[in-house]
Amino acid sequence: MPSTLRRSPNATLVTQPAIDEAAEALYDLPEKTKEKMSLREAVDVLRDQITAALDKGYSYEDIAAMLAKQGISIAPSSLKHYLARSNRQLKQATGTQTRRRRSPAKSLDTEADTEVDTEELSDLAEIAEPEPAAPKRRGRPPASDSASAAAKTRSTAARAKTVPTATGTRKRRSKA
């Protein structure tokens, strides 16, 4: 029995030229700008300007106050959180990682340490304790060669079987 699709009696039929015209009109629509954004999206858009203000010495509180005057009410802690998240997403998208900066005090210390006399090095080498060859192993120590050889020569027949002895106060049942 061939199956046919039943239409609802209230279904509206549309012609193919009408569908083609609608598709063309939808395709030709210009990009609509978003009129309202979330605070997170606003921070994403303003990320470069906020970072520049931070580089100039402004604090998150100062920037939050300036944004509030412009109609963007945001707490300094939220601003800091959203900016960090936006920067993290940007780094993940580009695949770059930031290098850690070394503090200037550390680099000065290393320069001073490089200027050491050879006499001091030889004195230090005499005083220094030798490093242990290998760290201690955990667990049961390995068996000595003589003990392992003796264990291999034993046979199972030579082992004595122990017979359990009755130490309890109960009497055994007699077989009837």
> What does the pLDDT look like over 33-85, one tens digit per residue?
878 888 999 999 999 999 999 999 999 999 999 999 999 999 999 999 999 99
Mean pLDDT taken over the chain: 75
What is the pLDDT at residue 111? 47
Share of the chain above pLDDT 70, in %: 57
Q: The tokens 């082992």 sit on which residue?
A: 159
What is the pLDDT at residue 113? 47
**Boundaries of every domain in the chain:** 39-94
